[in-house]
Homo-oligomer: A and B are copies of this chain.
């Protein structure tokens, strides 16, 4: 079967518009560590996939998965040591205020639980998010996706411009003044919810503003916004689906941005590809949630999720992936920042650990976003054997987010390929 006929079959079976990456889509058939292989046997360095955090086809994860599925995999209404131990390990990795866990099957479901808890505890319904966030695909969670700053689609959501220094809310402000300017926008969003009826339940943010392009956030913003939210009687939900699990070089994005969320949501990398999400918070909140909602999720909190989830934690520790993320990420970021002076189209390079952003612009002075260039580079880099994508409010930011087993050597190779692309542009 040719790739074209596969594409036609896919369009019938999954519907037109089921998204495919790249102008000429890839048929990926195998993965290993930080590498993916297409149907022709060509190897690609995977710098996009954050789900297989401990490496594609990680043998320890495969073993744990197979052994548990061959032993027992049931719902959570029997006692099972695995799921209890897994929950204990997850909470122990978080700050003291995070005591108990509700497991689910995706980041979307975990955010649903977080929102339901926040609404239950505060007895209010309003949610505040950024203008360029993405938190998942259920109707409630999707109402916070890429809302912009216009009046929200849902009467229960308000947005504020995500905090950043590259295209700051106002020019010429000190770091502290800029921080205050963003805080005022959050306060305005909360006030709008309070005056319009739904009241204020929670601020929900990705701890490193991943979909916003991993901006450099004005110093102290997250700490101060947490204080503001608490003063207003709301809860802070940290969506750690992308920022957690060692991605930044620390366990959690909130450690990098120096704040203590009330509720921590995890997903993507937890199961290295097995659907698995979790919502963790104070035991008191979870007790109230369980007694009020009678929450049950058939394929969640299972022995399979526990075994695979713990194998992933073990592999992160055994392979020292927090250190790898910090070190390889830092050196690659340095390399990218060297390109700021070399190419006027590279407006900014920034990031935390192995989540890096390269801001493509018409020129460094205007900072005008160049979405077409980001698309072009993503395609051209793919041809050269390196898989990245693009994101950000203007979709002009190269998104670099490899499995955490990504190496210095592959980072060096990427910089060579990136330079080739940029030199082709100027040739």
Contacts and interface: CB of A to CB of B under 8 A. Distances in A.
Contacts of A57: 69-73
How many copies of this chain are found per oligomer? Answer: 2
Contacts of A283: 12, 15-16
B273 A274 contact: no
A94 interface: no
B137 A268 contact: no
Interface string A27-68: 111110000100000000000010110001101011001100
B16 A291 contact: yes
A27, A107, A108 pick with most chain B CB within 10 angstroms? A108
Interface in A348-370: none
A15 B290 contact: yes
Contacts of A76: 14, 18-19
A6 B81 contact: yes
A102 interface: yes
Nearest to A86: B13
Contact of A75 (B51, B80, B84, B88): B51
Contact of A20 (B77, B101, B275): B77
A375 to B, nearest CB: 14
A302 interface: yes
Contacts of A271: 299
A99 interface: yes
A139 interface: yes
Interface string A95-118: 000011111111111001001100
Most buried by B among A115, A293, A299, A304: A299
A297 B79 contact: no
A72 B31 contact: yes
A298 B51 CA distance: 8
Interface residues of A, number: 96
Contacts of A91: 13
In this complex, which of A14, A102, A272 has the most chain B Cβ atoms within 10 angstroms of its Cβ? A14
A290 B16 contact: yes
A105 B49 contact: no
B100 A105 contact: no
A163 interface: no
Contacts of A103: 14
B79 A304 contact: no
Given A74-B31, A287-B15, A106 B297 contact: yes
A83 to B, nearest CB: 7
B66 A51 contact: no
A346 interface: no
Contact of A71 (B6, B31, B115): B31
Contact of A112 (B20, B139, B272, B299): B139
A296 interface: yes
A94 to B, nearest CB: 12
A291 B18 CA distance: 8
B137 A140 contact: no
Contacts of A6: 79, 81, 84
A111 to B, nearest CB: 10
Nearest to A82: B29
Nearest to A146: B294
A331 interface: no
A81 to B, nearest CB: 6
A151 interface: no
Contact of A105 (B12, B105, B140): B105
28 contacts: A3-B79, A6-B84, A9-B88, A10-B84, A12-B99, A13-B101, A15-B100, A27-B78, A27-B80, A51-B74, A52-B73, A56-B74, A59-B70, A62-B66, A65-B66, A69-B274, A105-B109, A106-B106, A107-B298, A108-B297, A112-B137, A137-B293, A137-B296, A268-B298, A273-B302, A274-B275, A274-B299, A275-B300
